[in-house]
Amino acid sequence: MFVATPTTKVVKFKDGAFIVCLVPLDNQCLRVQTLVTHNLAPLPETIVALSCLLDWDATLARAYADTIMLLDPTTGAVVELQLTVVSGQLAWQLQCAQKAAPANSNESSLLWAVFHVFEKFPVHAMMDTTLRRPALQLRAHASSPARRDVLLTTLNAVMAKLESLQKDLTPLALAKDAIVDATLLVWPTMALAPWILELVGFVPVPICRAQDNQLLLLRDGVAAAYPDGSEAHTLAPQIDFGAASHVLKAWRGPVVVLTSMGKQSTGKSYFLNHLTGSSFAISGARCTDGVWLTLRQLGRCLVVVLDFEGLGSFERSAQEDTLLSVLNAAVSRLTVFRIEMRFDKDVDSMFGKFQQGVALLKGDERLFCGHLLLNVKDVNPHDQASVIAEFKSKLEAVLGENKANNFVKVMYGGGVNITCCPPLGNQGYYEALEEAADSLHAARAKAYANGADCHETLSMVLAKISLLDWTNMGDSVQAHKSAQLCEDIRHALRYGCLDDDMTLGPDDDATMTAQRQTTIMAPDAGLDLPPDEMLDFELDVTDDDDMQSTLAMAKAILLRYLQRFLMRVDAPRSRVSEALFDAVWNFVVWRREYRVRSWFASLAAGGRAEADLLDVCARQMKQYLRRCQHTCAKCQLGCFESFLHEANVDHDCGTDHRCAGCCSYCTTGNVPCGAAAGHTGACNCARANHTCTSRCEMARASNCDGGCHLPVDHDGPHLCNVAEHRCSHPCTAPDCRSLCTQRFAIAHDRHDCGSSSCLRGCSIAGCSRPCTVRDHFHAADHSCGADHRCATECAADGVCEVKVQRASSTFEGGRGTFEYTRQTMVGVRKKCAALLPAGALDHDGAAHMCEVNEHTCTAQCPCCRYYCTKAVGHAGLHATSHGNMTETYFVSDVASVDIDGRAYVAGEDGVAEMCPFFCVKMGRGHVHYVPCNHASADVCMASDGRRHCTTALEPHPTQPMDEVLHAAYWKIQGWEDPVASAMDRHAFGLCPYQCAAPGHKEGETSYCTLDAWHAPVVANAPPGHTLVRGHVLPCTHTAHRGMVHHVFVLDTSGSMRGQKWIDAKDAVYAYIAQQRAKKGAMYPDVVSVISFSEGSEIVYEARPMCKMGRKTCAAIPFRGYGTNYNDGLRAAIEVLSRNNHATYTPVLLFFTDGRPHHASNGVDLARYIATTFGCYGPLSYCVGFGRDDFAFLEQLAGDLEGAYHNAVDGVDLLATFAEISVAVHAKTGLVSRGAAP
């Protein structure tokens, strides 16, 4: 086992296939240990002698191709180790050699990295040739003239190598502009803002990647976790692109989004880099994972460049490709679609993914406003016109399948340009970039208004796609604005201004002046109140407030503002100053609410929900910031607990309850007063007998000081300093928590606190305002005097609003578990929007209607329960965006169900699948199952797209079921097809019978060209097609090098005696002769001959066809006796099992003149041959000789999946064998796999 030491250096070798560990044994030897990366299996190690001494601790090790370079920066020594890994079946061997790299090679210089920078990345952006930045200056220190010369020589070599790439290097001149002399060094300056923009845009940031059939949002390159990400309008504001987000939100000018699209390794990133000056990673292999963003400036316009990974890779599913293509087209203003020089099935597939995304996002005019630029790569200049013409015609054909709703029209507004690009290393490549630059300049006509507009759109699209939320995006944007308005309301109530420091409006007007004079009156003389925007109430009112902590916070706020007030008026705390503070504070709180309500009334976006929120928050703010009017339980100061504090919480003034004055009776020193805070009368230290020590006879009064304040030995009752004692009972008015203010000494029947206002809230549901009736004991029909919105639910037909709820779930099935995103749609009933005049409790005669102009249909998809998005009462089929198939379960004729990598068991819920994507996964000719609505299968008649299922389906095998084709199923359910792509919808109606011949290239599939459930075809297939098991396949396959193994199974029963047998042998020879004549006498086909009657004999097996002459055929022995098909076919199976199928395609010719004499008529063996050897593409022919009824032989041909022929005599037999010979020579059949027709 290899154990690393602190001095071990590790490098990846052979593109990461191996890990090479280098351990110094001494100053001149290394131990080289190699590990296989995928399993860390060690390979034999070797010892390498170094050619020079190295400072190993400082030495750097890197691997390039099959070479490991060791660099000692302390001495400049370089050692090159050339490693060869030789793999065998049993062992690995490592061979090493070393030699010192030439010291004077330019390409071994560390400065050669400069060449690689400008080889891969541009000197300047082709999109803006007018912006010429200062020439790049390389600053270096040369210790001697010789080293200066070496430096300049290397830089000249770099420039020479760069010029050979045919790139525009202006204004790069490394050697000419290099500054080596420190005395010439002058640091340039530039504006800070462009420099920051260049810095932010220098390194692209990953924003998302496709994974597990959904879009995974990224932050700082890792999966982002959002605390509130269940809905698009709450997730979108949390999406952040780092510094790029700050730049984008602050950009006031127009913004263009430029995106790339295409297959892997088509040069998308390189193209974007040289077009815009970006620095996306490039490679000849796959290097872009997900979507990367960078920012580039184009005059007054900001270009947001999005580099997308290639479509159609093995790493991505079809659904993931669709999500990426929808994101691309939705936000782009110009999409550069890099495409190879052929319009193949891969391109069709990519366009199909575009088409699938047509119906996914909708409802925002900022979406799908871009232009599509098809850029055909690696086209020689003289071929460009023909290539463009070909692509134009094929694109028109593809779009013609979806004339009204194709992806170009819907996603790109019908705007498509087709251009060509020469190969790299050709000057024409960079000239072709100018065409893309022209398209980019033209795209500015549809630019986003500003950076904030672009950021909002991009983040909302990312949010909706990541949530698989296909509801109307306009609704999500409106919900986002509503949520933002709600945040603004809360912010405004606390701070008196908006979050972006925008004012709410004037700080004073006639209404505020009148209120100020009414509330504060004369005591306000000389009091200068601070502006409302300067006052932070320090209280955030939210729905999930902890009431106890909020009450404690409100008390602290009231006390802090009281202290600020007392400092402003320069007065001690007393009941008088508290009363003045109450007047001022009430006005300040009223002013805040008044300004916020005035601002809200000026908004056009404010709706019912926001108005209700304002009412609730304003009411809570006023209640929390209204102080309790009771007296402190421990002194005579006012209670500064919040008005809402619990009855079991003592009234508290927030002080130490001791009077801060000095004794009025003591003549020496400042003796502190011993009375409670807020007392009336003179201060008394209570240490000496300055006054009577007895208790006041009205001590039970609410405001009594407690002790007698009269002189010692006074006459009369004991009285404190309180001039008028008040009743201590609570006020009996409803909801009043104050104490009675009537005189304690006078008996009274009703306890009254003296207030004239009704404390009850308005009787209208949801209203937070107090009743305005000037009657403290008012008991009914409370009214705030303002207009109200009706609180009754909307009674209109249909659904007022739909919301999509998202949650991450784990599917726990019988064959494993996996994570998926579950989305459900809920319908919402809004409140009536009618305005009730002041004092009215309802609107008689008028129906309850919300503010939504058009209500949607109440129908729900039978699979996912999503609501129909069409208007209520619409005609025709229902339509929706569809979600998780919560109302479905799997049925199958086998217990296990595998869907695109997910493992299920029949009977399990289909909740993890989504309607449109599930159908795409099921693919061509798939069926849906519905219970059969007939009492008996005998009376169940097939109709268009629906037929009875004859297979028992788990989990309820006795349940009669019908199978329904895709289009018919959704029509039966009453819903529009959830799949938007016309290409996919057309494929769903076609036969799914698939060619399984090994001759097809990887990824290519050949299907039957007929409609699903077509009748078996018995006639000849069209030219270029093959007829297999009743299906017409648009391909033909021959064995390797076109060689055939011809297997004759000849009937030698007694009825074949005489001329019949001679005719049969002549026909065999004629067949072989024709094969040799067409293919050549020495063509290496082989022939086997089997004779059968009662038993069988393999006469010749795999005999070269060139050796099958007339005499050889004539020597085939005759057997006689009865006819047993089984014996002949059993021998044929022996021959076929020994056939070299990689070289020879089998052709079976079964010849007989009569019925079998046994019950075993060969059917089972014929089916076995078709099943076992069908993957090798055999051709089978059955020939009946004579005038008998050969219906049984025709059936045998069907079981062999072959063809039947009849020959009535010897001449006809020769013609029949000749016809078969021609067919075998023209095509040799195809591998078929799949269900029976």
Q: What is the DSSP string of 383-429?
A: GHHHHHHHHHHHHHHHHHTTTTT-HHHHHHTT-EEEEE-PPTTSHHH
Q: How confident is the model at residue 91 (pLDDT cuts 50, 70, 90)?
A: very low
Q: How confident is the model at residue 101 (pLDDT cuts 50, 70, 90)?
A: very low
Q: How confident is the model at residue 27 (pLDDT cuts 50, 70, 90)?
A: low
Average pLDDT over residues 1138-1161: 80
The encoded tokens of residue 817 equal 């578990």
- Amino acid 1117 reads P
pLDDT at 1232: 18
Kindly compute the dihedral angle of the four CA atoms of residues 461, 462, 465, 467, in this order, to the nearest 10 degrees. Answer: -120
pLDDT at 255: 95
Kindly compute the dihedral angle of the four CA atoms of residues 708, 709, 710, 715, in this order, to the nearest 10 degrees. Answer: -10
Contact 208, 214 (CB under 8 A): no
> 859: exposed, middle or buried (C-beta count within 10 Å: 0-12, 13-18, 19+)?
buried
Contact 966, 977 (CB under 8 A): yes
Residue 331's nearest CA partner among 299, 277, 300, 370 is: 370
Residue 912's nearest CA partner among 892, 954, 883, 882 is: 883
Instruction: Say how far apart CA 271 and CA 337 lie, in whole Å.
Output: 11
Q: How confident is the model at residue 1042 (pLDDT cuts 50, 70, 90)?
A: low
The encoded tokens of residue 973 equal 């359910």
Dihedral class, residue 199 (left if φ above 0, else alpha if ψ from -120 to 50, else beta): alpha
pLDDT at 774: 79
The encoded tokens of residue 289 equal 């994972």
**pLDDT of 259 over the 90 cut:** yes
Q: How confident is the model at residue 883 (pLDDT cuts 50, 70, 90)?
A: confident
Within 10 A of 640 (CB to CB), how many other CB atoms are there?
22
Q: % helix / strand / coil in the chain, to the nearest 5?
A: 30, 20, 50
**pLDDT of 517 over the 70 cut:** yes
Instruction: Say how far apart CA 1233 and CA 992 lie, in whole Å.
Output: 10
Least confident of 31-40, 578-587, 1121-1130, 1161-1170: 31-40
pLDDT at 285: 58
Q: Which residues contact 28 (CB under 8 A, 6 or more apart)?
A: 49, 50, 53
pLDDT at 942: 65
**pLDDT of 620 over the 70 cut:** yes
Residue 1181's nearest CA partner among 1163, 1156, 1198 is: 1198
Instruction: Say how far apart CA 1146 and CA 1088 lie, in whole Å.
Output: 10
Kindly compute the dihedral angle of the four CA atoms of residues 36, 39, 43, 48, in this order, to the nearest 10 degrees. Answer: 50
Residue 305's nearest CA partner among 319, 295, 317, 290 is: 295
Percent of the chain with pLDDT over 90: 14
Instruction: Say how far apart CA 1044 and CA 1078 lie, in whole Å.
Output: 13
| Residue pLDDT, tens place only, 115-169 | 888 888 888 888 876 655 666 778 887 778 888 888 888 888 888 888 888 887 8
Instruction: Say how far apart CA 538 and CA 466 lie, in whole Å.
Output: 36
Residue 78's nearest CA partner among 100, 98, 58 is: 100
DSSP-assigned states of every residue in 48-105? EE-SS---TTT-EEEEETTEEEEEETTTTEEEEEEEEEEE-SS-EEEEEEEEEPPTT-
pLDDT at 463: 92
Compute φ and ψ for 98, nearest 5 degrees. -140, 150
The encoded tokens of residue 500 equal 């972006």
Contact 774, 763 (CB under 8 A): no
CATH no. for 193-473: 3.40.50.300
**pLDDT of 2 over the 60 cut:** no
Instruction: Say how far apart CA 677 and CA 696 lie, in whole Å.
Output: 18
Q: Residues spanned by CATH 3.40.50.300 within the chain? A: 193-473
Report the mean per-residue pLDDT for the chain. Answer: 81
- Amino acid 894 reads V
Instruction: Say how far apart CA 394 and CA 378 lie, in whole Å.
Output: 19
Q: How confident is the model at residue 1036 (pLDDT cuts 50, 70, 90)?
A: low
**pLDDT of 95 over the 50 cut:** no
Instruction: Say how far apart CA 788 and CA 763 lie, in whole Å.
Output: 11
Half-sphere exposure of 812 (CA within 13 A, CB side): 1
Q: Which residues contact 823 (CB under 8 A, 6 or more apart)?
A: 467, 468, 469, 804, 805, 806, 883, 884, 914
Contact 1160, 1130 (CB under 8 A): no
Instruction: Say how far apart CA 627 and CA 629 lie, in whole Å.
Output: 6
Higher pLDDT pick, 857 / 1171: 857
Q: Which residues contact 115 (CB under 8 A, 6 or more apart)?
A: 158, 161, 162
Higher pLDDT pick, 681 / 405: 681
The encoded tokens of residue 406 equal 């194709």
Contact 1007, 924 (CB under 8 A): yes
Contact 77, 59 (CB under 8 A): no
SS (H, E, C) 305-364: EEEECCECCCCCCHHHHHHHHHHHHHHCCEEEEEECCCCCHHHHHHHHHHHHCCCCCCCC
The encoded tokens of residue 174 equal 């490394």
pLDDT at 70: 87
Residue 371's nearest CA partner among 330, 335, 326, 418 is: 335
Compute φ and ψ for 881, nearest 5 degrees. -90, -20
Q: Which residues contact 341 (CB under 8 A, 6 or more apart)?
A: 376, 377, 378, 379, 387
Percent of the chain with pLDDT over 70: 86
**pLDDT of 226 over the 80 cut:** yes
Contact 1154, 1132 (CB under 8 A): no
SS3 382: helix
Instruction: Say how far apart CA 480 and CA 308 lie, in whole Å.
Output: 27
Give the chain's radius of gyration (CA, Å): 45
Instruction: Say how far apart CA 992 and CA 924 lie, in whole Å.
Output: 5
Q: Which residues contact 900 (CB under 8 A, 6 or more apart)?
A: 213, 317, 319, 921
Instruction: Say how far apart CA 515 and CA 963 lie, in whole Å.
Output: 76
Average pLDDT over residues 339-345: 72
CATH no. for 1043-1223: 3.40.50.410
Least confident of 114-128, 961-975, 998-1012: 998-1012
> 598: exposed, middle or buried (C-beta count within 10 Å: 0-12, 13-18, 19+)?
middle
| Most confident of the following: 220-229, 455-464, 508-517 | 455-464
Helix axis angle for 1210-1226 and 1059-1079, nearest 10°, is 30
Q: How confident is the model at residue 871 (pLDDT cuts 50, 70, 90)?
A: very high
Q: Which residues contact 646 (CB under 8 A, 6 or more apart)?
A: none
Average pLDDT over residues 251-256: 94
The encoded tokens of residue 241 equal 């692109």
Residue 653's nearest CA partner among 577, 742, 539, 739 is: 577
